[in-house]
Chains A and B, each alone.
Chain A
Amino acid sequence: MATYKLNHLQGLEAEAIHVMREVAAQFENPVLLFSGGKDSIVMTHLAMKAFYPASIPFPLLHIDTGHNFPETIVYRDRLVARTGAKLVIGHVQDSIDRGTAVEEKGYNASRNALQSVTLLESIAHGKYDAALGGGRRDEEKSRAKERFFSHRDEFGQWDPKNQRPELWDLYNGRKHQGEHFRVFPISNWTEMDVWQYILMEEIPMPSIYFTHRRLCFERSGALYSYSEFMNLRDSEKETLREMQVRFRTIGDMTCTGATVSNASTVVEIIEEIASSRVTERGSRQDDKRGEAAMEDRKKLGYF
């Protein structure tokens, strides 16, 4: 007799597809947040599976800081062409020009925090009532309590102490006028699950996740890609050199650290993660701005 059980990746996939379909059924105007990182690539893949042979019933929204890795944009545009998905772009530069966001100054200046402003403006402008994100509970401790269906008030804010209980696989997306939801279908996935799923499903990935030579410099113990968007101190300029690196997460160029790596295939990446002693966000400068840095940004409307 056949055994009727799913392996862990099939179980997580079934859960994520269920959540995406709930979003399509319960909301009028959802949108999928697409950063070009591995989590949002997996999300797009899941959305294609969830609605096949129909096309994805919501657009992709990219919040563009203008400080992207060029490889991310190349990948994004190919993906859009391949899937026929609709792409909407919210530019942080537009928020700065409007005066709703103010550019940070100094050596550590980053547009990462400004994305929240542009994101909320884009959600309001598009009248989106649900924004699907690739956030995972294992990424950071304040995310550990995030719901699949996460309610946001009319100011786009998250109230971690007053969340709706979430039972079985029954999701309550009811809301008042002006409120919206953030929905996290891959809440229960870990970094390892994401890569194993990419392997299982043979999902093509942007080149910067794999090892390559790149001009890097050191800042507070981390490696960064040299780019025109960052001001280097003289001491940092001295550390500039070509290195064999890859990226474990992809954000904005100003805050995403590189890791020294020779991993050139998905299997090698999985092996590298299995033996890694540092979490993926260990290379994200944005989380190191204090013990509750992520919680504070999330309350204000961050991803």
Chain B
Amino acid sequence: MTSVHQGYLNMELLRFITAGSVDDGKSTLIGRLLYDSKSIFADQMEAIELASFRKGEEHVNLALLTDGLRAEREQGITIDVAYRYFATPKRKFIIADTPGHIQYTRNMVTGASTANLAIVLVDARKGVVEQTKRHAYIASLLQIPHLVVCINKMDLVDFAEQTYQQVKHDFENFASKLAINDVHFVPICALEGDNVVNRSERMKWYGGSTLMHILENVHIGSDHNHIDARFPVQYVLRPMNTAHHDYRGYAGRVAGGIFRVGDKVAVLPSGFTTRVKGIHLGERELSEAFAPMSVALTLEDDIGISRGDMLVRVNNRPQTGQDIDLMVCWMDERPLQVGGRYVVRHTTSDVRCIILEVTYTMDINTLQRLEEGRSIGLNDIGRVRIRATGPLCFDSYRKNRATGSLIIIDEATNRTVGAGMIV
């Protein structure tokens, strides 16, 4: 294999989300990223040229590249989360393209749940507005490790450095209240491509990186928890064939930390301890497995283990409990019912729960906690306390996104109605 192909096989994967409304030029920015990184094929280009022409537009509208369903094409808005893919020689990218309006908060939360990085778009003419704050808050709530604030439409403010500095200052001022570790600011003009992939000739005062340079180089190696070993058992493998008569493997995805052959582990909730005998990925035997690998573990001792149990290191255990505090984003038309019963899916276990109380709700535009009139409806975010019918083994969401997250399911409709982040 030549070095070129080795290169193909050694790319990193970065998942990012773009938050912004139609007016902020979000679709144009994505179109620009795809176009300038040469990820647009001739037949796609032909299709949008034709569509732009039909609409009587003067230029080819790059925003049309991200138009998904018919309803959206008709209304000219993005309603749902749409996923886009492109690659540069360095990285492969997955974009979760989410709408920015407040009535689509749940869509942004969905896209944010798997993202390494968030792009928040700010219109240079308007500066930091309520929507910017809301998007930054959701990024911090979902613990997206990296944030890039793109100050767009710089052409409409004469590429003035002062405007850029003002937005940066305003954003940093309020972001100090949020848990965001890594923030970048880039002045861009998505329509004409300035500082998106190629450096702008019209903003020489900007000494920072282009957006693409950040996307290609931001350090994502520590985005998974590699400290606290957690292995939720997903499925038990029992081949019962002649070659593997006594084999019993525990299939699952490492949710945190590193497991090595010989490690002493505890099985929760039972508390039995044993050692890791083998780690398997298909026919291959591995000496260790780390998050987020999907593997199968075999253990030294024959212990009754089933889906929903969790293997952890003996001296590093998660919290165990039935009463749990969480931040919840509500995703259903029917509001959250205090005293209501739901199903909670946490890692690989399903338990029933009752909502004990709403502690507060967030005004996600002002970031004020509201302790009056505490009801949580569609797109609302608040803090609640639940009681599960059985003990859950969990970490705080801040410590581990995999063992600190859960979804709430309505038993009557089977719909996913809430996303929970354990406090």
List chain A positions with a Cβ less than 8 A from chain B: 3-15, 17-18, 21-22, 24-25, 48-55, 137-138, 141-142, 144-145, 160-161, 163-170, 172, 174-176, 187-188, 190, 192-193, 196, 199-200, 267, 270, 276-279, 282, 291-292, 295
Pick 15 A–B contacts, CB within 8 A, sort by A: A4-B224, A8-B91, A21-B235, A24-B235, A50-B251, A53-B241, A53-B244, A167-B110, A168-B407, A170-B346, A175-B414, A187-B83, A188-B94, A190-B92, A291-B73
- In the complex, the answer to whether B234 meets A172 with C-beta atoms within 8 Å is no
- Flag whether B57 is at the interface (Cβ < 8 A): no
Q: A5-B12, A142-B69, A174-B409 are in contact. Are A167 and B416 (CB under 8 A)?
A: yes
- In the complex, the answer to whether B70 meets A292 with C-beta atoms within 8 Å is yes
- Flag whether B13 is at the interface (Cβ < 8 A): yes
Report the Cα distance A17→B84, complex, angstroms: 21
With both chains docked as a complex, state the minimum distance between the C-beta of A54 and any C-beta of chain B, in angstroms: 4
- Flag whether B67 is at the interface (Cβ < 8 A): yes
Contacts of B129 in A (CB 8 A): none
The CB with the most chain B CB atoms within 10 A, among A50, A167, A169, A196, is that of A167
Contacts of A174 in B (CB 8 A): 343, 409, 414
- In the complex, the answer to whether A4 meets B226 with C-beta atoms within 8 Å is yes
Known: A6-B13, A17-B253, A144-B83; 5 extra A-B contacts, CB below 8 A, are: A14-B293, A22-B234, A53-B244, A141-B68, A145-B81
Q: A144-B68, A165-B110 are in contact. Are A170 and B405 (CB under 8 A)?
A: yes
With both chains docked as a complex, state the minimum distance between the C-beta of A10 and any C-beta of chain B, in angstroms: 8
Say which residue of B71, B107, B239, B251 sits within 8 Å of A161 (CB atoms). Answer: B71
- In the complex, the answer to whether B221 meets A3 with C-beta atoms within 8 Å is yes
Total A-B contacts with CB atoms under 8 angstroms apart: 187
Say which residue of B9, B42, B283 sits within 8 Å of A277 (CB atoms). Answer: B42
User: Which bracket fits the contact residues of B?
Assistant: 35 or more
Report the Cα distance A172→B415, complex, angstroms: 8
List CB contacts (< 8 Å) of B378-410 with chain A: 401-402, 405-407, 409
Report the Cα distance A141→B43, complex, angstroms: 13
With both chains docked as a complex, state the minimum distance between the C-beta of B284 and any C-beta of chain A, in angstroms: 9
- Flag whether B44 is at the interface (Cβ < 8 A): yes
Contacts of A50 in B (CB 8 A): 251, 294
Contacts of B343 in A (CB 8 A): 174
The CB with the most chain B CB atoms within 10 A, among A24, A142, A165, A172, is that of A165
Contacts of B9 in A (CB 8 A): 7, 9, 196, 199-200
With both chains docked as a complex, state the minimum distance between the C-beta of B121 and any C-beta of chain A, in angstroms: 20
